Every structure is written in C-alpha cells, then in structure tokens.
C-alpha cells in the first residue's frame, strides 16, 4: 500500500473524464431533466478566487448526485468576459482586451479543470465571442421592436474616474461600484430599457418561484412599490397645475406648503412670476453641483428657497399655501413635487421647523409641535375626514379626489429604467443606426453580429464620448431603411447584457440559426436550481428576470420566470476573518491549495468549512483535518478482505451515512454531510477487516465531494465502470434503528441521569427505569413525583414539588 499520490491520481481521472465525457449532457435524452446553474465568472487577471469554487462545488455535488439518481443533468460553464474591468486592465498593461481576455479564460479553465468540476465542457460559452453576442444584439433588437428600448436624454450617473455611465444599480451609497469615487449627475442621451414597465410583475411573480427569502425581500425592496395617490394642486396665480404623489392622502388637510425638486421644469415656466429669482437660481445651481453623496446625507440640515409670488390652492381646504424648492425632493421619483405635511412626516417637520412654516395636527395621537406623528390615529381638523382612522381616511380621500377630478389612486416604484449605454470599448456594439430621415433604425438580422471593430486606442475619452466614435469610417454607414447616409451608435452595452440570457446558450451553444432551438428551450426551461451570490440580487438576477419576461412576452421563451429556485452561498473570508483582498494580504489562491492538498481535499474542505449560507473564514488547520480524513479513507483499502462478512456495526454505519449524506445534501447542509462521511469511516476503521462492497458503496457517497479518490478506490476494489455512473445507494431503514436507546432523565427539567432501555419500551417501563436511578432518587429527596412525562425513546421528565 502506497501513500495516496493525489497529483498522479487526480490527473489520471481528469484525463479519463476528458476522453470519456461522462458529464456530457444529452439535451434530447428521455430522462428527467435537471438544469443546474452557477454564475459564470468574469475571467479576471487574478484568476479564480477561493470564493468561486464554493458555489461551483456545491452544485457539482448536486449535479453528481442527480446523475447517479438517473437525471439528465445540464451543468455548464462559461465566461462573462465583456466589461469595464477587462478594459481597465488592458489600458493599464497596454495589451488588447481581446488578448488578455483569452489568456484569462485559459487560466480560469485550467484552474477549474484542476478542481474536477463535472461541467459539460463542450458547452463552454464566451460572451465576447461574436457567435454569442450576435444573439445578445438580436435580443436587444427584440426589445427595440417591443418598444422596451429607447434612447433619450436622461439624468445619468457618471463616474469621472472610470469615465463611464453607471446604471442606478451600480451606484453604491452615491459612489461608483467599481472605484468607490463620487458619482456625478449628468444629462446625456442614453439607451434605456424599460424595466419599470415590468416593475409590478418583477415584484409579484416572485411568488411563483422558490427563491431564498432574503433574495425575495431585497428585490421587492429595490423595486420599492408604494401605494398612494396623485393629487393635483392648482396655482393661485393662474390655472397651471402641479401634480404631487403622496402615500398619505389622508393628511391633506395638514398640507401647509408645497416643495418642488430644484430641477423641476415648472420653476422655469414660472420665472416671470417669481420675485426672488436670483435666490432661486443660486439655489438651483448649488443643488446641481452637489453629488449624490452630499445630497443623500440624511443627517444634514434641510435647505430650500421659497418661490416668492407663487402659491397653490390646497384642494381640500381651498386655502393658498406657499411653494418652495428644496433638494430633499428628488426629481426622479413621483412627479418631483410633494405636498408637505409637517405634522405627520419627519422630513417635512424638520423643514417646517427650520423655516417656521405652519405645523398642523390632523391625526390625533402625538404632539406635532414636538415631533412629527407618523402613527395611526383618528383624523381631526380635517373636514369630512374627521373621525375616520388612517386607512379609511385614505380611501375616502381618494374617492373624493376622483369625484372632483383632482386626483386618483397611484402606485409608484423606486425602480428606474435601466441605463443601458456605456461610453466604453469592451462591450457589445449596440446594433442601431441613426438616419437623418428615418431616425433610429435597428440593424436587420442578417447584418448581425455587428462585430466590435478593431481600435488602436480604445481608452475612454475625457469628454465622455465613446471610443468607437473615433472610427469615423465605421461610424459612417447607410440606413438599412432608406439607404441614405446614417451613423452607427458608438455606445456599447453594459457588462450585464451578456449575462442576462447566458444559461439558455448552454442548451444549444453552437446553433447559428437561433440562440437556442425552441424545442430544447421548451424542454429544459426554467433552470431548476440557480446558486449565486447575494451581491447580484438587484443587478444580474433582476436584470435577467426582466430580460426573460420581455422575451417571454415576445413569444420567444416559454413560461414567465427563468429560474425556478435560487439559493446563495456565504462569502469566504481570509484567516483573519476579513474580506480577502490584495491590500490585506489575506488572499488564498486555489492553485496553491490544489497543489498542496489536491482537488479532493480542496472541494471537501470548501463544503466542510461551515454552513453553506454563511460567511466562513479560511482555516489551514481545518483543511488539514479534511486531508487527514481522506487519508483515512484511502487507508481503508488495507483492511479490505473479500472473505470477511460485514459486521453489523459496519453495515449500520454505512446505512446511516447513506441516509444522512443524501438528506443533508438535499438540504444544502454540506458541512454536516461531510461529518456524516467522517463518522462512517471512523466506524469502518474500528474493525480489522472491511468487505469491499461496503467500501464501494461508501465511494458512491464520497464521489460528489472527492470524485478522484472515489473513482480510484472504486477501481482498486475491482469494480467495473466509473463510480460517478453508478446508482446512488439506498438505505435499509431497519439498519437505521438500534435495539436500545439511551435517553435522559430529568427532574423538574434538570438532567439527573441517563437510562438505556429497549427501543419502543413502554412509558411504564421507562418510568420505572428512571425512578430506579440513583441520581434521580437523590434529586427527588424522597418526595413523590407529582407527574411523570415520558416521551417514548426521547426523554423522561419527573415533576415534583
């Protein structure tokens, strides 16, 4: 018996898998399908992070088990290779992103293969391959045709450091997601996707899928549905009107002033009537120059300027109220105007206090001069609403507004349309042409893919225009519609475009007639199980659901949701319990782990290190323990004796493991599934001999975690075929139960003894055994039990006193 040479043995099986392709998916198979998905990575120059394999291994365990359960499994891998990071890296190194991307992909593929994932590598995809992005462009055009894409001036988030536009989802606390620098607001012509048109469905249809609840909560939160009313206020000075959105129409009698966003266009219209225009203009200019970080600082004092000479009529009271502008009202939400009810809104209260505006009490329950009262109560000082509670008053008020044609019920969303343009080079060209005569014209399908042209200098420009604009020959084209002179769009798509639909391409990766054969889509969608990071909840996952619904509405894909089930893994931290980062110097490189311990140890450790859901710190000690475990498994080969009958203990240990490992994998309790494997081999090792069949069955349980060693032992036991192609073992329930059971005996809920009784013993027997215990007698101090609770095979609790 030699030591386990993992380098040699892992290479041997990886070569064999490569040749025999046991993980190839037959999409036309009659077997029950199982579509498993992990987020395909962005192939960075740093290579694979130890965080990636946590997700990949988990679903690899599921994939391998499902194959052994006779499912046809789809488990693919590919590269989300467009995007800013690749371009930034290329600019820094001076090497074209196409070249660095190819190198990075090769490195990622090598790393993944060294870990032994059971991906069907013949279905590898790459978002930067023209054969792939042809369909990304095609799908974008489908959205154009459905009226879901439009180009228009919009206030965008611009990162002056990265020199590009950011989607709202890419702005974190007013800063850039990538460089964390401040983000400016600019007005720019951008391609937009109308994700807001799907806001309601994106929220509602979460009920039709099985996502872990934090994902559901976070998406709903992000979509931010709120029910309220739109109310029209009329200007006192002329008949112009201003519409506000409020969730509290019930408080309208307390609306003592109105606030407009500084950017509100009405301010310009009203200029001739505004007597303090200089002050107004100065305030607007100052607001414009503020970054979102300044503007969204909740703790800062409220500022604002009144529009002197302007007032509006409160439709409920008919009284004129002043109009202010303040940057605490945002142009991008509702109508950019609010009715301020300082008595019952904290922000309005703070504003009113500062500027000495009237604070009216219209809902009983608080002292509005001290602080805003936002709770429930009975309406007061509110005319026909008096005496109603908040809910009823809301309904009554909306009714009243509708009757008088002054407003109606309205639902608003925080979700904004998706800013889809990037003034960058390394992305899918947007296949649109601007014709002087015809306007924006989509490229016809036969001109797809619109290949990303070569460019000498692909660096972003300081004036915010796209690098492709420099290619004047490429930009100049003819209109597909009228053949007149036209210009190509020079913006490219964001990183998120290619990942919106990539899972479908695994199903039919080489098809050039369609992104996927519709029959295959029909059979394989939705994805059965998608595991990925929480950080993608309001980005990729939301975009992708929207993209799918848009395609579904165009009749292109089946169903309404792309992913049936969504789970998430916790982050892997450094040994210091901090997020791994170069600057902290706590990064663990998967290559060095594989080199030192082998893929099997790496995989098993990643599953054993902690609860899959939760963050877990890297630990060199624990990984050693896993290595020791696998060495013990290997050493069992020495005990193999085909003439020895299995001991009952060994059989019980095996069947216990079959039960526990299977059940724990299904519950994604991978750490305790590994514990169950450990317990089993600890039991196996007790005896001097072990029948080959028991170790063979154990190999089946081990194979999802440590597939190389499992194959090797399986072969050395003299078995035919691959262990990964065997059937998942079943357990004999009779072997799961013991004849006797040790249970606790409590006196008044405190443990005083344990008794071993036969399984299924009657309550009387258990009680008698319990009362006979010395420890119990001592605790009873001669008192007579008042009550004895026996839970069969579980516990005896004696109540005294």
Q: Which of residues 145-184 bind RNA (CB under 7 A)?
A: 172-173
| Residue with Cβ nearer RNA (175 or 691) | 175
CA angle (623 as vertex; 619, 624 as ends), nearest 5: 115
For RNA, the binding residues in 713-742 under the rule CB under 7 A are: 742
The neighbour count for residue 112, using CB atoms within 10 Å, is 19
- From 295, 470, 523, 777, residue interacting with RNA (rule: CB under 7 A): 295
Question: Could you identify the residue written with the tokens 């409220």?
Answer: 302
DSSP string computed for 208-248:
GSEE-HHHHHHHHHHHT-EEEEEEEEEESSSS-EEEEEES-
- From 19, 30, 272, 298, residue interacting with RNA (rule: CB under 7 A): 298
- From 243, 276, 296, 716, residue interacting with RNA (rule: CB under 7 A): 296
The neighbour count for residue 543, using CB atoms within 10 Å, is 22
Q: What are the residues facing 407 on neighbouring strands?
A: 231
Kindly indicate which of the ranges 39-47, 329-337, 355-363, 692-700 contains the residues binding RNA, using the contact rule CB under 7 A. 329-337
| Residue with Cβ nearer RNA (471 or 587) | 587
Q: What is the CA radius of gyration of the chain?
A: 33
- Beta strand segments in 609-719, E: 616-617
User: What whole-number distance in Å separates Cα of residue 766 and Cα of residue 795?
Assistant: 9
For RNA, the binding residues in 197-236 under the rule CB under 7 A are: 213-214, 217-218, 221-222, 224, 226, 228
Q: Please give the size of the binding site for RNA, defined by CB under 7 A.
A: 87
Kindly indicate which of the ranges 42-50, 55-63, 665-673, 716-724 contains the residues binding RNA, using the contact rule CB under 7 A. 665-673
Backbone angles phi, psi at 441, to 5 degrees: -125, 130
| Residue with Cβ nearer RNA (222 or 602) | 222
For RNA, the binding residues in 761-800 under the rule CB under 7 A are: 775, 778-779, 787, 789, 791, 794-795, 797, 799
- Give the single-character DSSP code of 634: H
| Residue with Cβ nearer RNA (148 or 657) | 657
Backbone angles phi, psi at 350, to 5 degrees: -65, -40
Site string for RNA, 535-554 (x = CB under 7 A): x--x----------------
- Beta strand segments in 458-610, E: 476-478, 485-488, 529-532, 565-568, 572-573
CA angle (626 as vertex; 620, 631 as ends), nearest 5: 125
Closest distance between RNA and the C-beta of residue 284, in Å? 15
Kindly indicate which of the ranges 151-159, 547-555, 709-717, 743-751 contains the residues binding RNA, using the contact rule CB under 7 A. 743-751
Kindly indicate which of the ranges 102-110, 478-486, 678-686, 713-721 contains the residues binding RNA, using the contact rule CB under 7 A. 678-686
| Residue with Cβ nearer RNA (475 or 770) | 770
Closest distance between RNA and the C-beta of residue 378, in Å? 20
For RNA, the binding residues in 237-256 under the rule CB under 7 A are: 245-248
Say if residues 39 and 55 touch (Cβ distance below 8 Å). Answer: yes
| Residue with Cβ nearer RNA (133 or 618) | 618
For RNA, the binding residues in 381-420 under the rule CB under 7 A are: 412, 414
First to last CA, the chain: 65
Q: Give yes or no for residue 671 binding RNA (CB under 7 A).
A: yes
For RNA, the binding residues in 597-636 under the rule CB under 7 A are: 608-611, 614-617, 619, 621-622, 624-626, 628-629, 631-632
User: What whole-number distance in Å separates Cα of residue 505 and Cα of residue 500?
Assistant: 11
The residues near 484 (Cβ < 8 Å, ≥ 6 apart) are 435, 436, 437, 438, 478
| Residue with Cβ nearer RNA (768 or 799) | 799
| Residue with Cβ nearer RNA (62 or 743) | 743
Residue 328 in 3-state DSSP? coil
Quick one: CA torsion of 304, 305, 310, 313, rounded to 10 degrees? 20
Kindly indicate which of the ranges 101-109, 198-206, 330-338, 378-386 contains the residues binding RNA, using the contact rule CB under 7 A. 330-338
- From 121, 150, 333, 474, residue interacting with RNA (rule: CB under 7 A): 333
| Residue with Cβ nearer RNA (101 or 746) | 746
Q: How many helices (H) and strands (E) does the chain have?
A: 26, 30
Exposed, middle or buried: residue 689 (CB in 10 Å: 0-12, 13-18, 19+)? middle
Q: Give the total residue count for the chain.
A: 801
Kindly indicate which of the ranges 195-203, 292-300, 364-372, 433-441 contains the residues binding RNA, using the contact rule CB under 7 A. 292-300
Q: What are the residues facing 226 on neighbouring strands?
A: 412
| Residue with Cβ nearer RNA (480 or 617) | 617
The residues near 122 (Cβ < 8 Å, ≥ 6 apart) are 21, 24, 509
């Amino acid at each position: 018996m030699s030591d386990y040479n993992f380098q040699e043995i892992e290479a041997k099986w990886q070569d064999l898998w490569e040749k025999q392709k046991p993980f190839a998916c037959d999409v036309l198979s009659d077997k029950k399908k199982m579509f498993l998905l992990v987020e395909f990575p962005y192939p960075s120059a740093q290579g694979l992070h130890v965080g990636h394999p946590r997700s990949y291994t988990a679903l690899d365990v599921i994939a391998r088990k499902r194959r052994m359960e006779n499912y046809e499994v789809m488990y693919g891998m590919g590269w989300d290779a467009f995007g800013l990071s690749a371009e930034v890296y290329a600019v820094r190194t001076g090497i074209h992103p196409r070249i660095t991307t190819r190198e990075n992909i090769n490195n990622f593929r090598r790393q993944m293969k060294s870990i032994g994932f059971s991906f069907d590598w013949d279905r590898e995809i790459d978002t930067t391959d023209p054969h792939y992005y042809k369909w990304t462009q095609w799908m974008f055009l489908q959205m154009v045709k459905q009226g879901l894409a439009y180009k228009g001036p919009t206030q965008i988030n611009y990162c002056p450091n990265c020199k590009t536009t950011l989607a709202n989802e890419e702005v974190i606390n007013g800063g850039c997601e990538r460089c964390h620098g401040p983000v400016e607001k600019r007005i720019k012509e951008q391609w937009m996707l109308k994700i807001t048109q799907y806001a309601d469905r994106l929220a509602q249809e979460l009920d039709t899928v099985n996502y872990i609840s934090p994902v559901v909560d976070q998406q709903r939160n992000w979509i931010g549905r709120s029910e309220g009313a739109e109310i029209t206020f009329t200007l006192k000075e002329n008949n112009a009107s201003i519409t506000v959105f409020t969730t509290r129409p019930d408080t309208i009698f307390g609306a003592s002033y109105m606030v407009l966003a500084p950017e509100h266009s009405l301010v310009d219209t009203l200029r001739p009537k505004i007597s303090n225009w200089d002050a107004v203009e100065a305030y607007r200019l100052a607001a414009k120059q503020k970054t979102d970080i300044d503007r969204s600082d909740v703790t800062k004092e409220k500022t604002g300027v009144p529009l002197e000479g302007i007032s509006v009529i409160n439709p409920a009271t008919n009284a004129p109220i002043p109009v202010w502008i303040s940057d605490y009202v945002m142009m991008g939400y509702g109508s950019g105007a609010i009715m301020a009810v300082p008595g019952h809104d904290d922000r309005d209260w703070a504003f009113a206090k500062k500027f000495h505006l009237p604070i009216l009490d219209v809902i009983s329950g608080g002292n509005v001069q001290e602080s805003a009262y936002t709770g429930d109560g009975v309406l007061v000082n509110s005319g026909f609403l008096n005496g109603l509670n908040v809910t009823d008053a809301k309904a009554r008020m909306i009714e009243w507004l509708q009757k008088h044609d002054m407003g109606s019920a309205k639902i608003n969303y925080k979700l904004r349309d998706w800013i889809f343009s990037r003034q960058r080079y390394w992305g899918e060209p947007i296949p649109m042409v601007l014709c002087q005569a015809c306007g924006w014209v989509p490229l016809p399908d036969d001109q797809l893919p619109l290949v990303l042209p070569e460019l000498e200098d692909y660096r972003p420009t300081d004036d915010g225009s796209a690098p492709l604009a420099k290619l004047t020959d490429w930009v100049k084209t003819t209109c597909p519609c009228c053949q007149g002179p036209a210009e190509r769009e020079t913006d490219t798509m964001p990183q998120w475009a290619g990942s919106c639909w990539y899972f479908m391409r695994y199903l039919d990766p080489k098809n050039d007639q369609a992104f996927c054969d519709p029959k295959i889509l029909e059979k394989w969608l939705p994805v059965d199980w998608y595991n990925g990071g929480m950080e993608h909840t309001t980005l990729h996952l939301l975009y992708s659901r929207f993209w799918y619904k848009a395609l579904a509405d165009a009749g292109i894909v089946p169903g309404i949701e792309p992913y049936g089930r969504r789970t998430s893994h916790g982050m892997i931290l450094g040994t210091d319990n901090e997020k791994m980062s170069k600057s902290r110097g706590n990064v663990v490189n998967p290559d060095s782990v594989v080199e030192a311990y082998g893929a099997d140890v790496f995989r098993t450790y990643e599953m054993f290190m902690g609860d899959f859901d939760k963050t877990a710190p890297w630990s060199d000690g624990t990984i050693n323990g896993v290595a020791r475990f696998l060495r013990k498994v290997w050493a069992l080969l020495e005990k193999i004796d085909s003439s020895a009958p299995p001991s009952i203990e060994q059989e019980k240990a095996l069947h216990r493991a079959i039960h526990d490992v299977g059940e724990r994998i299904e519950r994604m309790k991978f750490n305790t599934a590994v514990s169950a494997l450990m317990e089993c081999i600890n039991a196996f090792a007790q005896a001097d001999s072990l029948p080959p069949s028991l170790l063979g069955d154990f190999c089946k349980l081990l194979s999802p975690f440590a597939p190389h060693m499992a194959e090797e032992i399986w072969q050395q036991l003299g078995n035919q075929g691959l262990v990964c192609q065997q059937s998942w073992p079943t357990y004999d329930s009779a072997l799961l139960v013991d004849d006797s059971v040790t249970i606790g005996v409590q006196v008044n809920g405190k443990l005083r003894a344990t008794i071993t009784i036969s399984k299924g013993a009657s309550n009387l027997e258990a009680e008698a055994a319990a009362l006979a215990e010395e420890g119990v007698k001592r605790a009873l101090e001669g008192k007579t039990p008042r009550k004895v609770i026996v839970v069969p095979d579980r516990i005896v609790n004696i109540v005294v006193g």
